Amino acid sequence: MKIGLQIYQFNWLGTPENTASRLSEMASYAEQGGFSSLWVMDHLWQVSQGFGPPEDPMLEGYSTISYLAAETKKVKLGLMVTATPYRHPGLLVKAVTTLDVLSGGRAILGIGAGWNKEEAEGFGIPFPKSKAELFGRLEETVRIARHIWSSEGEPFEGKYYRLLKPVNHPQPISKPHPPILIGGEGEKRTLRLVAKHGDACNLQLGSAVEGYAPWLRELYKNRRSNLTRKLGILKEHCKNVGRDYDEIEITVLGTVRISPDPSNIPEIVNLCRELNDLGVDQVIFNMPNVYDLWPIERIGAEVIPAVADL
């Protein structure tokens, strides 16, 4: 089983003057510890679901992950997950292509429909008026990514977007293209989109950490039944569209807190084993005390070796 790290807070002591140096240290600890992937969120405000108030520091996602690409050599890189309304698809594909080229083929296109209308409108970004349009734009954006990465600039004509000549040179180093990870829980639209076009999916594991949103704690409590249901529905969608379910990487995102003593390391190892038994390929952790660095080091030293052969 693979382990990933999401950095979702930037409010440690000394910011913003030491933001870059501490992020560099986090990335270095993650890479040295054997983490498979490194992620940041795609938000303009902090997410007020236990992560912090909206006024807490938040960095733009693609600028941040590009900086982390320059600070690392091996770890995969992406946004968990790109909010479709925030960028035109053509520019988004160009940005991910650039990240892939400059990182030596380590980019992942993590993408979702987006949900934070208040945040978007706070920055003057147009936000779809209906869920149908929101998910329609997501699907079209994924199709555009695949089109640009497999063509020589042929036009794309969709319901929401029209690209007259999307010439994309250089093309990505990743072959056939950077993996497309689709995040979201929707059983009818999102998981069907994963079956049709996704190389990976991301589902919420939730959190057992005190102070986080009740729905995250409830998700964690019912993780077995929830993930079993979601993956069963994804299998059914794959069957209906003629897709091999085993081609899709199954990832989950969850919040854990590492204790100063090693007391809860066995609990996290057992959690990874439980998720592996459910069919999960990669667990992506975020941690409220990640900026202390030793939580990253401890997972690298004690969790990743224990689950590497799962």
Domains of the chain: 2-307 (3.20.20.30)
- What pLDDT does residue 146 have? 98
Angstrom distance (rounded) from CA 212 to CA 230: 23
With a CB cutoff of 8 Å and minimum separation 6, the contacts of 157 are none
**H or E segment at 26?**
helix 19-32
- For the chain, the residue count is 310
Q: Per the confidence metrics, is the pTM higher than 0.85?
A: yes
**Residue 203: exposed, middle, or buried by beta-carbon count in 10 A (0-12, 13-18, 19+)?**
buried
Handedness of CA 115, 30, 304, 75 (dihedral sign): positive
Structure token digits, residue 292: 């202390």
Angstrom distance (rounded) from CA 302 to CA 300: 6
C-beta neighbour count of 228 within 10 angstroms: 12
Angstrom distance (rounded) from CA 212 to CA 216: 7
Estimate to the nearest angstrom the gap between the alpha carbon of 293 and the chain centroid: 21
Q: Considering all CA atoms of the chain, what is the largest pairwise distance in Å, rounded to the nearest integer?
A: 58
pLDDT, one tens digit for every residue, the chain (310 residues)? 999 999 999 999 999 999 999 999 999 999 999 999 999 999 999 987 667 888 999 999 999 999 999 999 999 999 999 999 999 999 999 999 999 999 999 999 999 999 999 999 999 999 999 999 999 999 999 999 999 999 999 999 999 999 999 999 999 999 999 999 999 999 999 999 999 999 999 999 999 888 888 889 999 999 999 999 999 999 999 999 999 999 999 999 999 998 887 778 999 999 999 999 999 999 999 998 999 999 999 999 999 999 999 9
